[in-house]
Amino acid sequence: MEKKKRNETEQNRKTSVKGVRIRTINLGMLLTASIIYILILYATIHLSLKYEELNIATENYVACVRQAGMVTEASEYLTMKARMYAVDRKIEHAQDYFTEINVTKRREAALEELEKYNGSQEAYDFLKTALENSNALMKKEMYSMKLVAAAMGHDVHEIAGELADIRLTSEDQRLDSEAMLKKAEDMVFNADYQDAKALITSNISYFLNNVVEATRQQRMNNASMMQKIMNTQRVYIGLLFVMSVINLGLIVSLVARPLRVYIRCIKDEKKLPMEGAYEFQYLALTYNHMYNANAENKAALRYKADHDFLTDLINRGGFDQICKSLQMQSKRIALLLIDVDRFKQVNDGNGHRTGDRILKKVAELLKNRFRSKDYVARVGGDEFSIIMMDVGPDMSELIEKKIESINQVLRNPEDGLPEVSLSVGVAFSQNGYTSTLYQNADMALYQVKENGRCGCDFYQG
């Protein structure tokens, strides 16, 4: 029934409008312009594809450099741990070494990640060779660690199973502890070891040079093609400009005058007169219908303007209006300035979505703990304010208990959210909102933060 009524209303609008239709005049121009638009769109899509290829090439380059860095970093890390174990003989260095090999596996992860990118096989082979050389170098490092463990009497099973499987040569087994330690240190510092490290670095450098050259060539090819496409676009845009000038000359007499009238009416917030072409008259009917409906929506819009969209609390603008109105009233009020402690740290560490959930949680706790006649507002990112009506310093203990109960919930979360707390500064006024009330509450809040946060303090004037 409702749908039928709407259809009848729409039909009545159409039949009540008289005038020349602009679309008939513009049909020819529209068809021509559409063809040009399609050509521009085609060129734009082609340009976007080339641009995307350029982005992919750049991303591949960045990824390759990053993965090469991971291989280098992991290899250097293993060398450092092997050398540190050989020098100061602390077992945790050997454990860190095998953690990188068996758990972190940054080198293997880098190589696996590079298989996803469309790089050259030659570049991939260079990095793979670097990893193989690094693995070969690991045998020397592990043997060195085996010597240190034997000399120091370390339990190799406590370090890693791989170390337990290594067998010292009969010659090395006959060495005393000092000789074992000297040989272990020499194995990870001698010239052969340095040459092997240099070979790894060389292969990684070859890999990076190959990637840089391939990326440069692809960028040059794509840039040349993109330039050609943009030149074609300029021609199409020139044709479209000519069509627009012609179209403007045909429409100005039917559109310009009624449009000026409509703009003036809209600025003056008046209904539109029924004049001009058919489309403008129909627009006037629709606008006037919306004009009438708009009055019914103003209350809802005012609510949205005065309330924070995330927490549904009063926003800063609405709070300022409340403060302004309370300047003219001699009422006993309390102003609470509230900061969420360590919110930036939690927000940066856990993401803005978690931060939003914490703000909603704080807002809900404040609404539930305070009275319906108190004004609870979110005045900044993690800043809240409350104006309590008809209260004085005799209610300080009650306010403090409210804040303590909220902090108890926030510091012992059961909903998976990070732990936070509130710092609250409170000031009282016997004459409504005054110019110094905010300063007093802010001074109290400062004292809370100076005393370690997570609490409530009252201004003592």
In the predicted model, is pLDDT for residue 267 greater than 60? yes
Sequential DSSP letters for 239-265: HHHHHHHHHHHHHHHHHHHHHHHHHHH
293 or 360, which is more confident: 360
Give me the pLDDT at residue 114, please.
66
Give me the pLDDT at residue 440, please.
94
Average pLDDT over residues 370-389: 94
124 or 87, which is more confident: 87
Going by pLDDT thresholds of 50, 70 and 90, the confidence category of residue 131 is confident
Give me the pLDDT at residue 6, please.
52
Give me the pLDDT at residue 328, please.
77
Q: Are 443 and 459 in contact (CB under 8 A)?
A: yes
270 or 305, which is more confident: 270
Q: What mean pLDDT value characterizes the chain?
A: 82
3-state SS class at 162: helix
Give me the pLDDT at residue 373, please.
92
Going by pLDDT thresholds of 50, 70 and 90, the confidence category of residue 1 is very low
Give me the pLDDT at residue 370, please.
94
In a 10 Å sphere around its CB, with 0-12 CB exposed, 13-18 middle and 19+ buried, how is residue 17 labelled?
Answer: middle
* % of the chain with per-residue pLDDT over 70: 87
Radius of gyration of the chain (CA): 38
Average pLDDT over residues 47-64: 73
Going by pLDDT thresholds of 50, 70 and 90, the confidence category of residue 446 is very high
**Is the pTM of the predicted complex or chain greater than 0.75?**
no
456: β partners: 424
In a 10 Å sphere around its CB, with 0-12 CB exposed, 13-18 middle and 19+ buried, how is residue 163 labelled?
Answer: buried
The listed range with the strongest mean pLDDT (54-63, 97-106, 177-186) is 177-186
Please give the structure tokens belonging to residue 177: 């502890």
Sequential DSSP letters for 199-234: HHHHHHHHHHHHHHHHHHHHHHHHHHHHHHHHHHHH
250 or 198, which is more confident: 198
Q: Which of 213-222, 389-398, 417-426 has the lowest mean pLDDT?
A: 213-222
Average pLDDT over residues 2-16: 54
The listed range with the strongest mean pLDDT (64-68, 110-114, 194-198) is 194-198
Q: Are 382 and 340 in contact (CB under 8 A)?
A: yes
Name the residue with tokens 């104006």. Answer: 387
Q: Distance (Å, rounded) from C-alpha 41 to C-alpha 389?
A: 62
In the predicted model, is pLDDT for residue 113 greater than 80? no
In the predicted model, is pLDDT for residue 13 greater than 70? no
In the predicted model, is pLDDT for residue 9 greater than 70? no
Give me the pLDDT at residue 37, please.
77
126 or 250, which is more confident: 126
108: β partners: none
Going by pLDDT thresholds of 50, 70 and 90, the confidence category of residue 436 is very high
Going by pLDDT thresholds of 50, 70 and 90, the confidence category of residue 217 is confident
Average pLDDT over residues 172-193: 89
In the predicted model, is pLDDT for residue 231 greater than 80? yes
Give me the pLDDT at residue 239, please.
82
Give me the pLDDT at residue 74, please.
80
In the predicted model, is pLDDT for residue 449 greater than 80? yes
Give me the pLDDT at residue 210, please.
72
Going by pLDDT thresholds of 50, 70 and 90, the confidence category of residue 203 is confident
Cα–Cα distances in angstroms (integers) from residue 327 to residues 35, 85, 306, in the given order: 65, 73, 19
In the predicted model, is pLDDT for residue 14 greater than 60? no
Q: Which of 60-74, 148-162, 326-340, 355-369 has the lowest mean pLDDT?
A: 60-74
